[in-house]
Amino acid sequence: MRTGKTALITGITGQDGAYLAQFLLDKGYLVHGIRRRTSSFNTARIDHLYKDIHDPTTRLFLHYGDMTDSSSLIRIIQQVQPDEIYNLAAQSHVAVSFEEPEYTANSDALGPLRLLEAIRILKLENKTRFYQASTSELYGMVQEIPQKETTPFYPRSPYGVAKLYAYWITINYREAYGIYACNGILFNHESPVRGETFVTRKITRALARIKLGLQDCLYLGNLDAKRDWGHAKDYVEMQWLMLQQDRAEDFVIATGIQHSVRDFVDAATQELGMSIRWEGKGIEEKGYWIKKIKKQELRSRSAPCPIIQVDKRYFRPTEVETLLGDASKAREKLGWGPKITFRELVAEMMCEDLKSAKRDELIRKNGYLNHDRYR
Amino acid sequence: MKTALITGLGGQDGSYLAELLLEKGYRIIGAVRDVRRTEDSLPITLKNKVELVAWSMLIQEEMVSVMRHYQPTELYNLAAYSSGAGMYDDPVGIGEVNGLSVVRMLEAVREVNIGIRFCQASSREVFGESFEGLQTECTRVNPRSPYGAAKLYADSMIRIYRQHYGLFACSAILFNHESPRRSLGFVTRKITHGAAKIKLGLSQELYLGNLNACRDWGFAGDYVRAMWLMLQQSQPTDCVIATGESHSVREFCARAFTHLGLDYRQFLADEPAAYRPAESVPLVGDARKAKEVLGWEPQIRFCQLVDMMVDADLQMLKEKNN
């Protein structure tokens, strides 16, 4: 199946980029992606899609470029002449954005502006459609519950503020220049290839390793923080749908169901058949692994050690406490709804991370260091 | 003695602020792009009374070393690509200077001395096409230009640095403010300068855009006083600074020409090129909070402002042509 369409994905090496590339290839697109030059390999998430460029059937192409470098973006867009641009590239970590506020703004705020300017400079306003990955972090300190397209924004991090700038710029270019440009306001979306520093993946990775005895404890921030977690695979479909309409519009993409970080831990441990007892409150709260103990071991049993503890360094005074999306507009106008449930999401993530922990266990047992370590 | 570091000292607001702070006994450091050029263009009231130092709005290290050296107690950020018809020409540059540079400054404050008080000249452009008739600090923002989006970015970051790090940082959300020092690219000055030229027989016509566009116009001298007041409070807080009155470009013309004994209708020619894309709707500010918190009120009203600008242009043109 060929649509003859060409898409350009920024951030193709990330979680969403990988799922979207797969989705568009399946739809018959030619897919071009932008990657940053880094000293370590960063294409692991799309390696399974990638063919040698000498293979005549290849439909996935990678280009070196950077969201902070206008000329690289103009060059790539001129070369590719895309029908659709999906801007998924970002410094997307909230906590890191406090450490690197300027870089975050340069890539997340000015980056999309550079892409829109490139469209304008290259006179592709009538050809190229533009998708901007906006985020529920725009809502920050939420002004109403649940959050929808009309909810006022109140970002609480440099990441949220940079994304808010990009949100307005996208609308501005749609209105001032008639570019088909829209914002997908995506609530949290996870998967087995979610970045390892995000809380969901941090949990599934650590629990798998704890289960196998490769790690003792998992340190988390605010266990009561509530999020609306969906599956990235469902969300990339919506990203594509948004660019297939008669008129560019902004949409909230969410599941409409909320869970706390503690809920996520509970669901994940259940997948592993581990039973957890929570004790204490606030930063003193700890999660104990209740193991079934054989009678003869009872006497020599030492006090149980917590496998989950709260580290106040992960607590922030300007924490976003709760996010819950209302995707009614997406459902009514585009017929979109999430297909993968929370439990299925957790199960899939847990299953994949358990596999990789088992691989590490095997490697260690045979006297080698972890497979993903250099030394 | 207090020391104030002012960016954009060479501009309209910078010069009025510097004059005000000189009166109050401040030591004044102007952080500017081009020291020589700013020096040459300083009004007579400031010549040899302010210290100028070069810095780039794009380089945080420069900001840090300047702040370390001069140890300012107050920092006023007035440097920016200005609003108006040029708002669409270099959007990335506008984002860099009006938006990101504020983060560089806030980070520099954190690095040098967290006690430095910071006032940002924000803009009513953050409201863009507003949802409400009278805009306050609580009005929903809706920026409709790269300029407005960048100013909003700066305001939001200032709020975050205030909440997260406890910085004394605030934004003055300034509605249009004019003066005889306004540059000729702005409609008010274009009118007063044009009317004065016609009066002196140096020109026959004035080209303007949308005569029905309405704005809330105040006097720049009043507005910088509000910014200074904002840094003298016990708590940092953002304030809308406005007159609360809306007047059309047509009214502005009528007043300017009447002041010269002329009828504006005889001299106007339409000039659609001066229309901006995605034109903003009329905007009027509600500065009640500034009145309550700062005790601030504008002293110069619309007619006085127009007359002042016309008189200044007439004077200047007479001197130039003698």
What's the rounded Cα separation, in Å, for the pair A316 and A93?
A: 14
- What CATH number does the domain located at B3-177+217-241 have? 3.40.50.720
Q: What is the pLDDT, as a whole number, of residue B243? A: 97
Give, in degrees to the nearest 5, the angle at Cα B220 between B218 and B223: 80
| Amino acid in the structure at residue A176 | A
Is it the case that residue A73 has pLDDT exceeding 70? Answer: yes
Answer for the pair B98, B81: CB distance below 8 angstroms, yes or no.
yes
* Cβ-contact B77, B169 below 8 angstroms: no
- What's the whole-number mean pLDDT along residues B178-203? 96
Cross-chain residue pair B163–A117, CB shorter than 8 Å? no
Mean pLDDT of A319-336: 95
User: Which pLDDT score, from 0 to 100, does residue B85 have?
Assistant: 57
* pLDDT tens track for B219-231: 999 999 999 999 9
Q: What average pLDDT does chain B have?
A: 93
User: What are the extents of the domains in chain A?
Assistant: 6-188+229-257+322-339, 195-227+259-320+341-375
Query: pLDDT digit string (tens) for A259-304?
Result: 999 999 999 999 999 999 999 998 899 999 988 766 666 665 566 7
The 3 state secondary structure assigned to A253-294 is ECCCCCEEHHHHHHHHHHHCCCCEEEECCHHHCEEEECCCCC
Tell which of A121, A172, A179 to mutate to test the B interface (max B CBs under 10 Å): A172
Comparing CA positions, the residue from A63, A67, A163 lying closest to residue A114 is A67
In 3D space, the residue among A255, A109, A88, A100 whose CA is nearest the CA of residue A168 turns out to be A109
Please say whether the beta carbons of A335 and B177 come within 8 A: no
Instruction: Assess if CATH 1.20.1630.10 describes domain B183-216+245-282+299-320.
Output: no
For residue B275, what pLDDT band results from cuts at 50, 70 and 90?
A: low
Residue partners of A308: CB distance under 8 A and separation at least 6: A217, A218, A219, A220, A265, A276, A286, A287
Euclidean distance between CA atoms A225 and A258, whole angstroms: 10
Mutation to test the A interface, candidates B103, B125, B151, most A Cβ within 10 Å:
B103
Report the CATH number of the A6-188+229-257+322-339 domain: 3.40.50.720
**Separation between Cα atoms, residue A175 and residue B11, nearest integer Å:** 31
Does residue B277 have a pLDDT over 60?
A: no
Direct distance between the N- and C-terminal alpha carbons of chain A, in angstroms, rounded to an integer: 46
Please report residues of A whose CB lies closer than 8 A to that of B92. 70, 110, 113-114, 117
Distance from the A316 Cα atom to the nearest Cα atom in chain B, whole angstroms:
8
What is the predicted pLDDT for the residue at A172?
96
CATH assignment of A195-227+259-320+341-375, among 2.30.140.10, 3.90.25.10, 3.30.70.1450, 3.60.110.10: 3.90.25.10
Question: B152 and A175: CB-CB below 8 Å?
Answer: no
Q: How do strand A259-260 and strand A226-227 relate by DSSP bridges?
A: antiparallel
Whole-prediction pTM: 0.93
Query: Given a cut of 50, is residue B278 above it in pLDDT?
Result: no
Task: Tell whether A71 lies on the interface with B, counting CB pairs under 8 A.
Answer: no
Cα–Cα distance list, A294 to A250, A298, A301, A302 (Å): 58, 7, 10, 14
Other Cβ atoms less than 10 A from the Cβ of B286: the count is 20
Q: Can you read off the two tokens belonging to residue A185? A: 């306001």
Test the B interface: residue of A110, A137, A163 with most B CBs within 10 Å: A110
pLDDT in tens, B205-252: 999 888 888 899 999 999 999 999 999 999 999 999 999 999 999 999
pLDDT, mean of residues B313-320: 96
- The domain spans of chain B are 3-177+217-241, 183-216+245-282+299-320
On the question of pLDDT at A375 being above 50, the answer is no
Question: What is the reported pLDDT for B189?
Answer: 97
Q: Please indicate if any CB of chain A lies within 8 Å of the CB of B125.
A: no
Please tell me if residue A321 touches chain B, with a CB cutoff of 8 Å: no
Residue B122 has pLDDT above 70, yes or no: yes
Q: What is the pLDDT of residues B1-29, one digit of tens each?
A: 899 999 999 999 999 999 999 999 999 99
Nearest to A194 by CA among A373, A15, A37, A5: A15
Q: Does A177 touch chain B (CB under 8 A)?
A: yes
Query: pLDDT value at position B198?
Result: 97
- Residue A110, chain B, CB below 8 Å: the answer is yes
pLDDT at B130: 77
Q: Do B156 and A164 touch (CB under 8 A)?
A: yes
B190 and B182 Cβ atoms separated by less than 8 Å: no
Are A165 and B60 a contacting pair at CB < 8 A? no
